[in-house]
Amino acid sequence: MSAAAALPEPAPPKANYLNISYGVKSWLLTTDHKRIALLYMGSITVMFALGGIFAALIRLELVTPPGDMVQAETYNKLFTLHGVIMVFFFLIPSIPATLGNFLIPLMIGARDLAFPKLNLASWYLFMAGAGFAAYSLVRGGVDTGWTFYTPYSTAFSNTHVISAAMGAFIAGFSSILTGLNFIVTIHKMRAPGLTWMRLPLFVWSHYATSIIMVLGTPVIAVTLMLVMVERGLKLGIFNPALGGDPVLFQHLFWFYSHPAVYIMILPSMGVISELVSAMARKRVFGYGIVAMSSLAIAVIGFLVWGHHMFVSGQSVYAGMVFSALSFLVAIPSAIKVFNWTATLYKGSVSYDTPTLYAIGFIGLFTIGGLTGIFLAATGLDVHVHDTYFIVAHFHYIMVGGAIMGYLGGLHFWWPKITGRLYPEAWGRVAALIVFAGFNLTFFPQFILGYMGMPRRYHAYPEEFQVLNVMSSAGASILGLGYILPFAYLGWSMRYGRAASANPWGAKGLEWQAASPPLTENFETQPVVREEAYEYAHAPQERAIV
């Protein structure tokens, strides 16, 4: 059902959360979850552009085998800043802080999150963290890798480690408070009749994500605190020359940073569940299992961190256990992929922009996930550890997965957020460019890594050049694919056609609210009397055995 079908022109704009008040103060002191979502959207877009610039510089350097564009030390700063910015200041907040903040109260029929002022505080904490990261950047950057491994980061690096670590530390508390807010909201503020098993899967996935945010983030916070103290006071907590253990740092770091990757992908999976259902006009196949799989990913995700440490000196026994558990954690993710596919099967699918991103996600996430299984096998991981195989693996999930989900969700809910329709033709073109550019950038990297090209090196042997050139060419196409939505979505905010409350004809309480919604979301408290995704012609589901 195309959003561009002929609809009656909506009435002139009524009061909504955007026009209810004007002025900088009304935005900087807002407690409206929808405005806070937009504040975040602005911030993370800037951070994404910054991280993207570093990616562009990396790919430029890697067009030629010798390190001829920048010195090795500078290159180290490029990939570090790319990683720190993309992980801590883009991916971790992205969907939860923007789409999650905006949609969760709407999806559950509430007027706001449980703690609106805490929500605003979360954004300010994010900005403070970004400020420290920017300070580190401006003063010359940091070169430790986003992983801050000791003792290089604490005793040997001559770059601005403390300010970068402080930035991540503060941003971590933004994340913790957001997760806390979501959990309480989902427990306590659901509309009458909205039982747990009627919740949209987007809400389930954010609930699971929030568990990780609350229980995992504090560990990296205290670890970064120790790194800052060790570096500042020249202590030896993680420095082997002074009796410390660098592997202990890695245990503490990865205890968070592995679950963190599930913070980055679970919300995107929630988006895909919504897109697939709406675009196929069909209940999500196996709703209950998909909901439980989000929780399973969150819990099992905490049990596998040692698979980042197979070559660190960790015990063989621990390695075997972490390997087995890493195979296990793939199962709930695979379940989702099967169920999304089954949802699309025999659905009446419309190939709009959100659908393209969703289908792209399913394919690319599957590739990324399967390569994760390869890496869970200790024997194979030893061979490809710290090569481009790893880089390709996580970019397939983070970019092919998480970012495609973010873009799909952004387009799907754009009419709700802005009250405008984006130009659908441009949307589809950009989605295809993103898909093509992405694969050209990252598929060659699987081959490079398997052939032995190490990561974090600014020079490489001649025989790797062709694949590197392909990757860099892909990166420029991907970059174009990202700039296009920025342009036409921005254009649509001013010139886009006005949207009705439910341009997609989708199920979900958020589509009951106006586009854009009132500040208090609903004029009267909604009451829920049916299951989730009750589309008109659900019987197809029974044809699938």
Partner 1 sequence: MSDPISERHESHIVSPLLYLLVFGSLMVLTVITVAASRYDFGAWNTVVAMAIAVLKATLVVLFFMHVRWSSRLVRLMVAAAFAWLALLIGGALSDYDTRGRVNPPVEKRSPTGALLEDR
Partner 2 sequence: MSEAVAHHAEADRHPALAHHFEGLPEQKEAAGLGMWLFLAQEVMFFGGLFACYTIYRNLYPGAFAAGSAHLNWKLGAFNTAVLIGSSLTMAMAVHAAAVGKRRQIVAYLLMTVVLGSVFLGVKVVEYADKFHHHLVPGAHFRFEGPLARPVEIYYSLYFAMTGLHALHMVIGIPILLTLAVLAHRGHYSASYYAPVEMTGLYWHFVDIVWIFLFPLLYLIPTHAPH
Q: Is residue 215 a contact point for partner 1 (CB under 8 A)?
A: yes
From residue 530, how far is each of 195, 352, 502, 508, 534 by CA, in Å?
Answer: 10, 27, 18, 11, 7
Q: Which is nearer to partner 1, 195 or 348 (CB)?
A: 195
- CA-based end-to-end distance of the chain: 27
Q: Is residue 252 a contact point for partner 1 (CB under 8 A)?
A: yes
CB of 240 to partner 1, least distance (A): 14
Residue pair 507/314 in contact by the 8 Å Cβ criterion: no
CB of 317 to partner 1, least distance (A): 4
Q: Which is nearer to partner 2, 427 or 517 (CB)?
A: 517
Distance CA 500, CA 7 (A): 8
Count the residues in the chain: 545
CB of 219 to partner 1, least distance (A): 6
Interface pick for partner 1 out of 48, 79, 302, 357 (rule CB under 8 A): 302
CB of 493 to partner 1, least distance (A): 39
CB of 446 to partner 2, least distance (A): 35
Question: Of 445, 431, 427, 446, which is closest to residue 477 (Cα–Cα)?
Answer: 431
Distance CA 459, CA 395 (A): 21
Triad 80, 85, 90: Cα angle to 5°: 150
Structural tokens at position 6: 């002929």
Q: Which is nearer to partner 1, 237 or 392 (CB)?
A: 237
Is it true that the peptide bond before 200 is cis, omega within 30 degrees of 0?
Answer: no
Residue 192 interface partner, choices partner 1, partner 2, none, CB cut-off 5-8 Å depending on type = partner 2
Interface pick for partner 1 out of 127, 321, 470, 484 (rule CB under 8 A): 321
CB of 215 to partner 1, least distance (A): 5
Question: Of 499, 479, 301, which is closest to residue 403 (Cα–Cα)?
Answer: 479
CB of 298 to partner 2, least distance (A): 14
Distance CA 119, CA 30 (A): 10
Point out which span in 84-92, 247-255, 366-374, 386-394 binds partner 1 (CB under 8 A).
247-255
Site string for partner 2, 102-141 (x = CB under 8 A): -------xxxxxxxx-x-----------------------
Distance CA 341, CA 13 (A): 39
Site string for partner 2, 229-268 (x = CB under 8 A): xx--xxxxx----xxxx--x--xx----------------
Q: Is residue 260 a contact point for partner 1 (CB under 8 A)?
A: no
Q: Is residue 424 a contact point for partner 2 (CB under 8 A)?
A: no
Distance CA 200, CA 77 (A): 42
Residue 221 interface partner, choices partner 1, partner 2, none, CB cut-off 5-8 Å depending on type = partner 2
Is it true that the peptide bond before 66 is cis, omega within 30 degrees of 0?
Answer: no
Residue pair 451/379 in contact by the 8 Å Cβ criterion: no
Specify whether the backbone of 190 is left (phi greater than 0), alpha (psi in -120 to 50) or beta: beta
Q: Is residue 392 a contact point for partner 1 (CB under 8 A)?
A: no
The footprint of partner 2 on this chain (CB under 8 A) covers a number of residues equal to 55
Q: Which is nearer to partner 2, 458 or 507 (CB)?
A: 507
CB of 402 to partner 2, least distance (A): 24
Q: Is residue 473 a contact point for partner 2 (CB under 8 A)?
A: no
Q: What is the DSSP string of 487-529?
A: HHHHHHHHHSPBP-S-TT---SGGGGS-SSPBTTB-SS-----
Interface pick for partner 1 out of 9, 317, 536, 543 (rule CB under 8 A): 317
Half-sphere exposure of 328 (CA within 13 A, CB side): 16
Residue 302 interface partner, choices partner 2, partner 1, none, CB cut-off 5-8 Å depending on type = partner 1
From residue 20, how far is each of 30, 101, 104, 516 by CA, in Å?
Answer: 12, 19, 21, 11
CB of 134 to partner 1, least distance (A): 31
Neighbours of 342 (CB within 10 A): 17
Point out which span in 223-231, 272-280, 392-400, 494-502 binds partner 2 (CB under 8 A).
223-231
Q: Phi and psi dihedrals of 374, rounded to 5? A: -55, -45
Q: Is residue 328 a contact point for partner 1 (CB under 8 A)?
A: no
Q: Which is nearer to partner 1, 255 or 389 (CB)?
A: 255
Question: Of 268, 183, 173, 169, which is closest to residue 223 (Cα–Cα)?
Answer: 169
Distance CA 126, CA 9 (A): 40
Kindly report the three-state secondary structure assignment for every residue of 7-72: CCCCCCCCCCCCCCCCCHHHHHCCCCHHHHHHHHHHHHHHHHHHHHHHHHHHHHHCCCCCCCCCCH
CB of 201 to partner 2, least distance (A): 18
Q: Phi and psi dihedrals of 352, rounded to 5? A: -85, 175
Q: Is residue 216 a contact point for partner 2 (CB under 8 A)?
A: yes
Residue 229 interface partner, choices partner 2, partner 1, none, CB cut-off 5-8 Å depending on type = partner 2
Q: Which is nearer to partner 1, 189 or 470 (CB)?
A: 189
Point out which span in 199-207, 308-316, 379-387, 403-411 binds partner 1 (CB under 8 A).
308-316
CB of 251 to partner 1, least distance (A): 5
Binders in 152-191 for partner 2, by CB under 8 A:
176, 179-181, 183-184, 187-189
Instruction: Write out the residues near partner 2 by the rule CB under 8 A.
Output: 109-116, 118, 176, 179-181, 183-184, 187-189, 192, 214-219, 221-223, 225-226, 229-230, 233-237, 242-245, 248, 251-252, 509, 512, 520, 522, 524-530
Footprint on this chain of partner 1 (rule: CB under 8 A): 187, 196, 215, 219, 247-248, 251-252, 255, 302-303, 305-306, 314-318, 321
